[in-house]
Amino acid sequence: MTITAEAVKQLRERTGAGMMDCKKALVEVGGDLDAAAELMRKQGLAKADKKAARIAAEGTIVIERSPDGLSAAIAEINCETDFVAREQDFRAFAAAVGKLALARRVEDVAALMSLKSEGGDTLDERRCALVAKIGENISVRRVALAIAPTALGTYVHGTRIGVLVGLRGGDESLARDIAMHVAAMSPEYVSPSDVPAPVVAKEREIFAEQVKAEGKPPEIAGKIVEGKLRKRLNEVSLTGQPFVKDDKTTIESLLKSAKAEVTAMVRFEVGAGIEKKHGDFAAEVMATVQGATATAKH
Residue with more model confidence, 49 or 121: 121
Q: Does residue 81 sit in the same domain as residue 34?
A: no
Query: Based on the domain organization, do 80 and 164 belong to the same domain?
Result: yes
Domain contains 241 = no
* Nearest of 193, 194, 179 to residue 267 by alpha carbon: 179
The enclosing domain of 28 has a CATH number of 1.10.8.10
Please give the model's pTM, rounded to 2 decimal places. 0.77
Please answer whether residues 56 and 76 qualify as being in contact, where contact means their C-beta atoms are separated by less than 8 angstroms: no
CATH number at residue 68: 3.30.479.20
Residues ≥6 apart with Cβ < 8 Å to 5: none
Whether 148 contacts 154, CB under 8 Å: no
63 and 85 fall within a common domain: yes
Domain-located, residue 3: yes
Of the residues 36, 54, 72, which one is the last residue of a structural domain? 54
Tens digits of residue pLDDT in 146-172: 999 999 999 999 999 999 999 999 999
Q: Are residues 68 and 30 in the same domain?
A: no
pLDDT of 176-199, one tens digit each? Answer: 999 999 999 999 999 999 999 999
Tell me, yes or no, whether 50 and 7 share the same domain: yes
pLDDT at 297: 52
Cβ atoms 140, 75 nearer than 8 A: yes
Percent of the chain predicted with pLDDT > 90: 68
Integer Cα distance of 56 and 12 in angstroms: 16
The answer on 66 and 31 residing in a single domain is no
Look at residue 163 and tell me if it is in a domain.
yes
Q: Is residue 246 part of a domain?
A: no
Q: Which domain holds residue 78?
A: 58-189+262-269
Task: Flag whether 294 is in a domain.
Answer: no
Whether residues 110 and 183 share a domain: the answer is yes
pLDDT of residue 130: 92
Task: Answer yes or no: do 132 and 73 share one domain.
Answer: yes
Among 258, 253, 234, which Cα is nearest to 243's?
A: 253
Please provide the DSSP assignment of 219-285 as one string: HHHHHHHHHHHHHHHHHTBGGGSEETTEEEEEHHHHHHHTT-EEEEEEEEETTTTPPPPP--HHHHH
How many structural domains comprise the chain?
Answer: 2
Q: How far is CA 167 from the centre of its chain?
A: 22
- Residue 276: inside a domain: no
171 and 96 in one domain?
A: yes
Structural domain includes residue 101 = yes
Q: Alpha-carbon distance 89 to 199, whole Å?
A: 42
Q: pLDDT for 191-222, tens place per residue?
A: 999 999 999 999 999 999 999 888 888 889 99
